[in-house]
């Protein structure tokens, strides 16, 4: 059996959330230009080296961050009134990545844990995704 305390490889952990919101797309021709709603599914993946207990980040800590920073602000809201950009899944996932990453950097005081990926499902078959390397890469 592997001694967990000596396991020094980085491990990803993911927590999934849902919230309901309404929006409409600006500068768009099609039915999504009309007011409509979604049950969004938000996947938040963090990565780090497990501590002496074998824990990268407590799932409860991820839940607290996302509930305070995203769910409590956007659940059952009209997104166009809250967000200063066109409320596409692409724009929203980048915005959520930035919010969660900023909060995580302020609250992590032990082993470094990095936000790796945020995936925002708009429907059961459609999502937008932001990964760390793309968020921090230079625009071309």
Does the annotation count 43 as an active-site position?
no
Spot the catalytic one: 32, 43, 90, 114: 32
Number of Cβ within 10 Å of residue 47's Cβ equals: 18
β pairing state of 113-123 and 126-131: antiparallel
Spot the catalytic one: 23, 45, 95, 122: 122
Does the annotation count 122 as an active-site position?
yes
CA separation, residue 12 to residues 33, 54, 102 (Å): 37, 12, 19
Distance, in Å, from the CA atom of 63 to the CA atom of 61, rounded to the nearest integer, reads 5
Does the annotation count 129 as an active-site position?
no
Spot the catalytic one: 36, 68, 76, 111: 76
> Hey, which residues are catalytic here?
32, 76, 122
């Amino acid at each position: 059996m592997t001694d967990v305390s000596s396991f020094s490889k980085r491990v990803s952990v993911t927590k999934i959330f849902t919230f309901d919101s309404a929006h409409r797309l600006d500068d768009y021709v099609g039915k999504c230009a009309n007011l409509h709603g979604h049950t969004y599914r938000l996947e938040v993946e963090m990565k780090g080296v497990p501590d002496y207990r074998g824990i990268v980040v407590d799932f409860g800590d991820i839940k607290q961050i996302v509930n305070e920073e995203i769910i409590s602000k956007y659940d059952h809201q009209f997104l166009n009134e809250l967000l200063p950009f066109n409320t596409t899944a692409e724009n929203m996932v980048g915005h959520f990545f930035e919010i969660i990453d900023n909060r995580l950097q302020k609250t992590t005081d032990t082993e470094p844990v990095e936000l790796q990926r945020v995936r925002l499902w708009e429907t059961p078959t459609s999502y937008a995704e932001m990964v760390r390397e793309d968020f921090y890469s230079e625009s071309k």
